[in-house]
Amino acid sequence: MTDAALDAAREGEWPILDAFETRADLDAFEAVVYDLDGTLVSLAVDWEAAARDAAAALREAGVDVDGTDLWSMLDVADGSGTRDVVEGVLTDHECDGARASRRLELAEDAVARGPPKGVCSLNCEAACRLALDVHDLARDVDAVVGRDTVATRKPDPEPLLETLRRLGADPSGAVFVGDSRRDALTAERAGVAFRYVPGGPSGH
C-alpha cells in the first residue's frame, strides 16, 4: 500500500471504532487481535531518549546511524549483525515504560467475554507481557507476538499471521485493532479486517 493509500485510510477507508459500538462490532469476528501501545495501554517510554541510547550503542559497536530514526536503526542493526545491541537498549526502555504504563479505555473490551484475543505489537514481547500483567489483562489474552517474537515486524504481515496461528484462527475471520497506519498496512497485507481505535489513527 502506498503512502497515499495510507493517508486515505487515515481519512476513513477503514472504519473508526465508536466507543459505544466497539463490543458489538468486534464480537462478530472469530478472533480479535489488538496492537498494544496506544491501543490497550499507553507505555511511558521516552522514545527520543530510547533513540539516543540506541544510536550511542550502535556507534560504540562501530555502526554509523547519523540521520537514522529509531525504527530504521533496527534495519541498520539487522544489516550489520548488531540487532542484539539495539534490542537490549529498547527492551530496557520498553519494560520500564510497561511498568509505568497507563491502561486505556479499549482494554475493557479485551477483558470482556467474546472471541479469542491476541496482541500483536511493534514493542518487544517482554514489554507486552509485562504491561498485560501490570493491568491484569494477561489472563484474557491468548496469544502475544512482539517485535522480537518472529523474524520480521509490522508492517510485514507475519507477526499478525503468527498471532492468528497461535489463536487457531483464520485471517478471513479475524480483525486487527490498532492506532496507526502501520497497523492498517499490516492488516491489509495479512488479509485481515482492520478497525482503528476510537478517535482514529494517532501515528504512523
Q: Does any domain span residue 170? A: yes
Q: Does any domain span residue 160? A: yes
Cα distance between the two ends of the chain: 13
24: domain CATH number is 3.40.50.1000
Q: Does any domain span residue 202? A: no
- The Cβ of residue 194 has, within 10 Å, a number of other Cβ atoms equal to 19
What is the total count of domains within the chain? 2
pLDDT-wise least confident of 4-8, 17-21, 135-139, 191-195: 4-8
User: In the structure grid, which three cell numbers stand for residue 80, read together?
Assistant: 550489520
Residue-averaged pLDDT of the chain: 88
This prediction's pTM = 0.88
Confidence grade of residue 5 (pLDDT, cut at 50, 70, 90): very low
Domain that holds residue 155: 3-42+103-196
pLDDT-wise least confident of 54-58, 84-88, 105-109, 199-203: 199-203
Q: Does any domain span residue 56? A: yes
Q: Does any domain span residue 136? A: yes
Asked whether residue 142 falls in the same domain as residue 67, the answer is no
Asked whether residue 161 falls in the same domain as residue 116, the answer is yes
